[in-house]
Structure 1
Amino acid sequence: MTEPLHYDIEGHGPVLLVIPGGAGHPMGFDKVVAVLADRFTVVTYDPLGLAHGRLGEPVGDQRVEAWSDGARRVLQEVLPEGESAYVLGTSSGGVTALDLLARHPERLSHVVAHEPPCVRVLPDGAVQQANFQEVYDTYRAAGLQAAAVRLGAVLTGQEAEPAEGQPLSWEEELANPMALFLAHVLRQFTSYAPELTALTSASARLTLAAGSDSRGQLLHRTARFLAEHTGGGFVEFPGGHVGVAEHPVEFAELLAETLVAGEAHAPG
């Protein structure tokens, strides 16, 4: 049985598919979407339907390919015949955007993947995957706050003091998007290996992005590595990993410039 699709549409113009990070809940995207809606038909995809009445329902371990297939189906529903779409994916949504481009490039004008945490591609990828496994283990043993501290340390490359806490109940986990991310998205998406050959073939349609405040950090390094090994572009956006919420106007303006410039250089 095909899962129902959950998305919102705002604005007018060429289609821009937005794939949020975390567990896919579009929290924090309202302001950037409002700015982008002046130039694009912004389609915000909610893979698990968390903002559409499904928060609190059971969630299983997630797969990048399932989110990507859902994004493809959304485009089938909203994209006019003969047109192509822009895509912005952030964090786990950026991983999804990479898979979407690798497997379904035919109707994509340009894709911006902002700090996708697919660290498996790095020379020290095994070490980084083990670090994210520790974040998951911390979440299960000591709860949300302790895991968030450990996650911050992994992303910044700093040492984290051991933190104490209580694990969440099943009901508490289902009601919290960040908990769902730690429980069912983090390990699966950070262990995803992008199809570098396919992305290289589509490199004219791809820009890797990272926050200027993330310089020297793990996901800035990951984005640069992917750009260098696919031939895609690289652009620094304002703010850090959640720059889309920190600087929505500046983020939206640079995104629009990047998408249009990228399309101009893509093959017809």
Structure 2
Amino acid sequence: MTSVSSQPIVRTLRVPDGRLHYELRGQGPLVVLVGSPMTADAFAPLADLLAGSRTVLTTDPRGINRSPLDDPDQESTPPLRAGDLSRLIADVDAGPAAVFGSSGGACTVLALAQAHPEQVSAVIAHEPPLNELLDDRDELHRATEEMIEIYLGGDVLGAWRKFMATSGLMMPDAMLEDVFGGDRDPRQVADERWWFEHELRGTTRWKPGVEALRAVKDRIVVGIGDASPGQLCDRTSRTLAGALGIEPTIFPGGHTGFAEDPAAFAGRLHGLLP
């Protein structure tokens, strides 16, 4: 698969409560790549690889980076972000779209499939953090509230340690301090704070409508990284797949496999697109 490195077309869409930054690459059937809180930049290498045969849309989710909200204290939830995706697909006027979402973005694309099934030709939900589906949901919700409190109290590294431990992700203290400590880009810090304060809770407490998703399960793929066994999002993804009566699909890499090795990830993803 050849990477297309031409500059994307950059657009802004006004929505009722803010503005959405989005980018378009390539030509062909529409593919949407979304994260939460990951921005369009995080998906650029993967988008370039798919743009040889697809029109690829990437976006900054509401409240993050170049997608400001009129009310910066508004909460972000999968249904609200799904409404944004619906408007973006309509604005591009190239649907129905194959939509790929990773992490919180996986919750977004599932919410889109529930609310607007006519706009999706395929839904690939990679490791959605659907804590509400698990038997230990109450314990997980308490842990989420604790990490939010720790972060807003000023202990950034402590909050990320709690997040990593709860998620089952491995990051040595030295790496944690390198990534989240010291002098950091102010925009990155602002987005991080907004995610802890206004997005993390609404995403992990969202419960998908399993019956509505079963009605379109022939279009749904639940993805799990081959390096994710035993992690929280491995558990949530397998629980969702079981509830839908489908087998999970294994992708290369871990929770952020799309960024770790975009070429390997693109090869797997391309084979799942209609």
TM-score by length of 2: 0.82
Mapping for residues 128-147 of structure 1, pairs under 5 Å: 128-147=140-159
Looking at structure 2, the residues matched to 127 and 42 of structure 1 have their Cα atoms a distance apart, in angstroms, of 38
Unaligned runs of 5+ in 1: 164-171, 261-268
Residues 175-254 of structure 1: matches in 2 within 5 Å? 175-254=189-268
Asked if residue 21 in structure 1 is aligned to residue 36 in structure 2, the reply is: yes
Tell me, in whole angstroms, the C-alpha distance in 1 between the residues paired with 2:188 and 2:74.
Answer: 10
Consecutive unaligned residues of structure 2, counting only runs of 5 or more, are 1-15, 178-185
Q: Deviations over 1:202-258 (max 9, x none)?
A: 110101111111111110111011011012441111111111110111111101112
Alpha-carbon contact 2:20-2:66 (below 8 Å) kept: no
Deviation of the 1:122 alpha carbon:
1.1
Q: Which residue of 1 aligns with 2:115?
A: 103
What TM-score do you get using the length of structure 1 for normalisation? 0.84
Does the aligned pair in 1 maintain the 2:61–2:81 contact within 8 Å? yes
CA RMSD after TM alignment: 2.7
1:25 and 1:177 in contact (8 A); partners too: no
Q: Deviations over 1:105-161 (max 9, x none)?
A: 112111101111111011222221222112112212243222111100001188x99
Distance change (3 Å), C-alpha of 1:191 and 1:236: same
Question: How far 1:174 moved relative to its partner?
Answer: 7.9
The structure 2 residue matched to 1:74, chosen from 88, 95, 114, is 88
Three-state SS of the structure 1 residue aligned to 2:61 is: coil
Query: Partner of 1:38 in structure 2?
Result: 52
Q: Measured at CA, do residues 29 and 173 of structure 1 come closer, stay the same or move farther in structure 2, by a change above 3 Å?
A: closer
Letter in 1 for 2:19: P
Contact 1:173 1:179 in 2 (8 A): no
> What amino acid maps onto 2:32 in structure 1?
L
Deviation of 1:12 (Å): 1.0
Deviation readout 1:167-186 (Å, 9 max, x if unpaired): xxxxx688532222112111
